[in-house]
Amino acid sequence: MSAEVTTGKKTLITPFNVVVGIILFLGLIVTYLRFTKGLAGVTNLSDNNPWGLWISFDLLCGVALAAGGYTTSAACYVFGLKRYHTAVRPAILTAFLGYSLVVLALHYDVGRPWRLPYPFFVQSGPTSVLFEVGLCVFLYLITLFIEWVPAALEWLGIKKPRDVIIRMTLALTIFGVVLSTMHQSSLGALYLIAPSKLHPLWYSAYLPIFFFVSSIAAGLSMVIFEGTLSHHYLHDKMDATYRSEHDGVVLGFAKAAAVVLMGYFCIKIVGLALDNNWSYLFTGYGAWYLLEILGFVLLPAILYAIGVRERKLNLIKWTSVLTVLGIVLNRFNVSLVAFNWQLAPVDRYFPSWMEIALSLFIVTVGLLIFRFISTYMPIFYEEEKFREHASVELHEHPVKPHPQTFGH
């Protein structure tokens, strides 16, 4: 928990930099190949498997794991949990970067990326679930940008427009929650059209609800997980308020995540019962399904509950990792493992190393931008100049101790 020693590192050849360098290098190579040789040059996609890792991980997981933005801002500004205020900015930044990277990744995946705005400006297909996903992601990305801009404006010392945006906080938050509800659920609804391709254990009329509810758990867990990482690596960028509120955020979010995961587990069972899919549980896919909902939904729900009850912060932090992995597992199961389950093994899809490299590249780019922004802009702390204004409209703070006067 103590501050990382970041001073005195003069050499650029650190293990972190080497790994990042390799990933960036490979990513650039794959980028070059993708836009000179086409999708066939870099992916294992086929006519049977039109969607691969870039949709499963970069889109489905990316959007789910960026759900911290709307959950945190809703908790703070709508549900009135003002003690989570310091968690909002990191969560909004993560969400904004997450969605930006989702859109970046889509440029690699679709055949004609320059036409991505076509559904909104040239010809709309409103009968498509994908249209709804696209429209919501497009609007939400703009919303997140506006929500993030005050941090940049404070960094640049521009006051007027920043104050205008801060005054729109409630409207932006509600807009964000509405859009998130829609597209988080719609990502699940994408698969409603393919009941003949998705294994019955994962196909359900409730897919949109499953995706939405699990995105809340994903968002809460990502805030806990990221908070832990940030505490480790960006400790010196945090002000006293952030640090003093941090444990409260972890406990509060863990409590919420325990309840949400429990509810998610229940509706998964309801879905199973509704379609009378019990007999599938005794197959290989059934074992895999049980692993997912027992090991990565029920177990973290219980561990979160224990962590909150016993106030074991470390248990909560590890549980957040388990939950995040569980969400990733679920999205992979729906879009890859259980999708096209009836195809012959030889026709099934497995990503190429270049697809994996590009996904790593996208995540790495996100991490680097996050680190840059949170190093220079007021993300984990409040700008002295803007302090009293920041706490006027929607959230009133107790008097904050000055960073230097607060021992930690």
The smaller minimum CB distance to another protein, of residues 185 and 359, is found at 185
398 binds another protein (CB under 8 A): no
- Give the 3-state secondary structure of residue 137: helix
Q: What is the CA radius of gyration of the chain?
A: 22
Instruction: Report yes or no: 249 and 86 within 8 Å, Cβ to Cβ.
Output: yes
Q: Of 1-9, 159-167, 172-180, 300-308, which segment contacts another protein by CB under 8 A? A: 172-180
Per CB under 8 A, the list member of 29, 83, 131, 280 interacting with another protein is 131
262 binds another protein (CB under 8 A): no
The smaller minimum CB distance to another protein, of residues 96 and 211, is found at 211
The smaller minimum CB distance to another protein, of residues 203 and 381, is found at 203
Q: Which residues in 177-236 contact another protein (CB under 8 A)?
A: 177-178, 181-182, 185-186, 189-197, 205-206, 208-209
350 binds another protein (CB under 8 A): no
Q: Of 120-128, 152-160, 295-303, 321-329, which segment contacts another protein by CB under 8 A? A: 120-128
161 binds another protein (CB under 8 A): no
DSSP sequence for 344-383 = -GGG-----HHHHHHHHHHHHHHHHHHHHHHHHSSSSS--
43 binds another protein (CB under 8 A): yes
How far is CA 244 from each of CA 50, 93, 147, 251, 375, rounded to the nearest angstrom? 48, 20, 24, 13, 20
Write down the least CB distance from residue 129 to another protein, Å.
5
41 binds another protein (CB under 8 A): yes
Which residue(s) pair with 21 in the sheet? none
Which residues, 6+ apart, have CB-to-CB distance to 235 below 8 Å?
A: 2, 3, 4
Which residues, 6+ apart, have CB-to-CB distance to 173 below 8 Å?
A: 70, 73, 74, 77, 78, 147
The smaller minimum CB distance to another protein, of residues 182 and 238, is found at 182
Nearest CA to 335 out of 63, 126, 66 is that of 63
Per CB under 8 A, the list member of 69, 90, 98, 134 interacting with another protein is 134
Nearest CA to 60 out of 169, 188, 178 is that of 188
Q: Which residues bind another protein (CB under 8 A)?
A: 35-41, 43, 45-48, 50-51, 74, 77-80, 109-113, 115-116, 118-119, 122-132, 134, 170, 174, 177-178, 181-182, 185-186, 189-197, 205-206, 208-209, 274
